[in-house]
C-alpha cells in the first residue's frame, strides 16, 4: 500500500506538468506570416476564441487574405479547450492591411458573417465576436471584429 501511495505522489506531479505543457502547446497562436519568429510586440494577435458571456457558435470559419485559418464546430472546439486537440483559436499576423472573412452560426441562431479589409496594428489584440439569440434577439445575430479598446473595426455589432 505504501509503495502505491509513493508511486502516485511521484506520477501525479509529472502528469500535471505534461498536461499543462500539452494545453499550452495547443494554445500557441497560429503563425500567419512567413519567415522566422518575431517578437509579439511587432505582430497583431487575432483572438477568435469564444468570449465569455456570448453565445457559443455552432460553427466558426475564419479566412485571412483568402487563406483558410480556422473552421471549427463547437463540439471540436470544446475538446480543444480541454486540451484534447492541438488547434489554437489565436493567430499572430504582420501589421498592415489584410482581407478578413469571418462567419459564425449559433446552434439555435441564424448565422452571421462579415468580410472586409482591416488595418491591423502591431502590439494590439483583435477579438472576433458572434452575438445574438439573447433576450429579444431570438431571430437575429451579428458578427464583428473589435480591437482591445472595444472599437469595432469590421462587421456590425448587434443593435
d(CA 21, CA 6): 24
Encode 123-159: b = buried (16+ Cβ within 10 Å), e = exposed. Answer: eeebbbbbbbbeeeeeeebbbbbbbeeeeebbbeebe
- As for how many domains the chain has, the answer is 1
The pLDDT assigned to 89 comes to 82
In the chain, the percentage of residues whose pLDDT exceeds 90 is: 35
Please tell me the number of Cα atoms within 13 Å of 78 on its side-chain side: 7
pLDDT at 37 over 90: yes
In the chain, the largest separation of any two C-alpha atoms, in whole Å, equals 65
C-alpha cell at 54: 456570448
Inter-residue contact 81 to 46 (CB < 8 Å): no
The pLDDT assigned to 110 comes to 74
The pLDDT assigned to 39 comes to 95
Domain membership of residue 75 as a residue range = 2-155
pTM above 0.85, yes or no: no
Amino acid at each position: 500500500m505504501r509503495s502505491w501511495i509513493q508511486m502516485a505522489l511521484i506520477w501525479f506531479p509529472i502528469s500535471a506538468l505534461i498536461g499543462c505543457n500539452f494545453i499550452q502547446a495547443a494554445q500557441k497562436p497560429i503563425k500567419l506570416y512567413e519567415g522566422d519568429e518575431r517578437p509579439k510586440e511587432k505582430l497583431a494577435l487575432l483572438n477568435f476564441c469564444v468570449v465569455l458571456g456570448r453565445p457559443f457558435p455552432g460553427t466558426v470559419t475564419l479566412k485571412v487574405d483568402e487563406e483558410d485559418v480556422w473552421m471549427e464546430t463547437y463540439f471540436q472546439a470544446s475538446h480543444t479547450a480541454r486540451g484534447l486537440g492541438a488547434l489554437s483559436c489565436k493567430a499572430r499576423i504582420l501589421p498592415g492591411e489584410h482581407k478578413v472573412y469571418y462567419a459564425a452560426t449559433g446552434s439555435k441562431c441564424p448565422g452571421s458573417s462579415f468580410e472586409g479589409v482591416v488595418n491591423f496594428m502591431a502590439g494590439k489584440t483583435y477579438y472576433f465576436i458572434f452575438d445574438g439569440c439573447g433576450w429579444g434577439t431570438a431571430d437575429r445575430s451579428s458578427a464583428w471584429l473589435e480591437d482591445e479598446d472595444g472599437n469595432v473595426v469590421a462587421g456590425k455589432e448587434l443593435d
